[in-house]
A = this chain, B = another copy of it.
Amino acid sequence: MIHLRLCFIGFGHAGQALARLLLNQKESLARRHRCRFSVTAVATRSRGGLVDADGIDLERVLENIRSRNRFSTQDNSLSSLTPTEMIRTVPADVVVEMTPLNISTGEPALTHIQTALSAGRHVITLNKGPIARAYRKLRDLAESSGKRLLFEGTVMDGFPVFNLVRETLPGCRILGFRGVLNSTTNFILCEMEQGKSFSEALAEARRMGIAEADPDQDLDGWDAAAKTAALINVLMDSSTTPEKVDREGIRRLDTEDLEKAGREGKTVKLVCEARRTDDGIQARVAPVPLVLSDPLARTEGASSTLTLFTDLMGPVTLTEENPGISQTAYAVLSDLLTLVRHIY
């Protein structure tokens, strides 16, 4: 039986969903994968932190958040350590990085990941910023530390994009890709196709919990550009940043543009694409009218579609339908199980 101690940096929706998943899957993980996980530290921005080297009682913590939206002040495990101090000093095998995205700096996730690898922890991150900005540096640091850096949840949630290429397309070279990878903009475009105005569609996306309170990063294509950069850095062995991706968001589109596309038998999607050329890798994010037979055209609502162009296997298309927070939590679990197999 392998026992891995986890340090959670961030405990928002994803962290809480992960805690629930680990509780629900506890028996099955022990039986089928001969592993168990305990959480020795939880760092949050607004709720303070928890530390318990014997394992935090996740059930109680989740109950406190559900009923009172905070940790219990009676909790013996309450801690005033900063996230970086926790990463350095609390006994843990894996740091799970789940802080909010900052595309322009990658921080604080970038520092957390570097600190964790340098301190001899494996790292699993849901944060695409560091992968989009500094993958090569982090990969080299992980290698020299003899630790793993896993990040399946950064693109298409738990859908195994990076694992697919690494584990199941051996010998294939990725020549390029095309994808619809941002849920918020795709949901808005689908609603606008049904006749809603941009602001009505955005309000609906907020009501559904798809758009964030501040949706600028999605609407201006920054989130899509970060995913594009992450895919290029990892799958095409290059070194780019979101700023280097030619980028156009969806704000200039109005209902009439979508109606016009519809009359031509087309549907408009925010397409992420990259391809190898003689001048290096060309990458862009832009709204594109697609014919209905295009594999990306029928990406509905909050779904995602990605086509990878490979040298030996031709095009490989993956679709994730309307994922929720439990798919994000599964991304971390799948990375944890990859670690377990790596250790065996």
Give A contacts to B, CB under 8 Å.
21, 25, 28-29, 32-33, 158-160, 163-164, 167-172, 292-293, 295, 297-298, 300, 312-324, 326-327, 330, 333-334, 337-338, 341
Contacts and interface: CB of A to CB of B under 8 A. Distances in A.
Contact of A171 (B29, B314, B315): B29
Contacts of A300: 293
17 contacts: A25-B171, A29-B171, A159-B313, A160-B169, A164-B168, A170-B333, A170-B334, A171-B330, A171-B333, A172-B330, A298-B298, A312-B330, A314-B322, A314-B327, A316-B318, A317-B318, A317-B320
A292 B312 CA distance: 30
B333 A319 contact: no
Contact of A316 (B159, B163, B293, B313): B159
B313 A327 contact: yes
A293 to B, nearest CB: 7
Contacts of A297: 298
Nearest to A312: B330
A334 B321 CA distance: 27
B334 A171 contact: yes
How many copies of the chain does the oligomer comprise?
2
Contacts of A334: 168-172
Contact of A312 (B21, B169, B315): B21
A319 B295 contact: yes
A333 B160 CA distance: 21
Given A295-B319, A316-B319, 14 more contacts: A21-B312, A160-B168, A163-B167, A167-B167, A167-B168, A169-B334, A170-B337, A171-B334, A172-B334, A297-B298, A314-B320, A317-B318, A317-B321, A319-B319
Contacts of A159: 313, 316
Given A21-B312, A300-B293, A171 B337 contact: yes
Nearest to A161: B168
Contacts of A167: 163, 167-168
Instruction: List 8 A-B pairs, minimum CB-CB distance, nearest first.
Output: A160-B168, A170-B337, A317-B319, A163-B168, A167-B167, A312-B330, A158-B313, A315-B321
A295 B305 CA distance: 11
Contacts of A295: 298, 319, 321
A207 to B, nearest CB: 22
Nearest to A330: B312
Contact of A314 (B160, B318, B321): B321
A9 to B, nearest CB: 22
Residue in A28, A167, A170, A295 whose Cβ sees the most chain B Cβ within 10 Å: A170
B158 A312 contact: yes
Nearest to A21: B312
A21 B169 CA distance: 15
Nearest to A169: B160
Nearest to A24: B312
Contact of A33 (B21, B163, B170, B314): B170
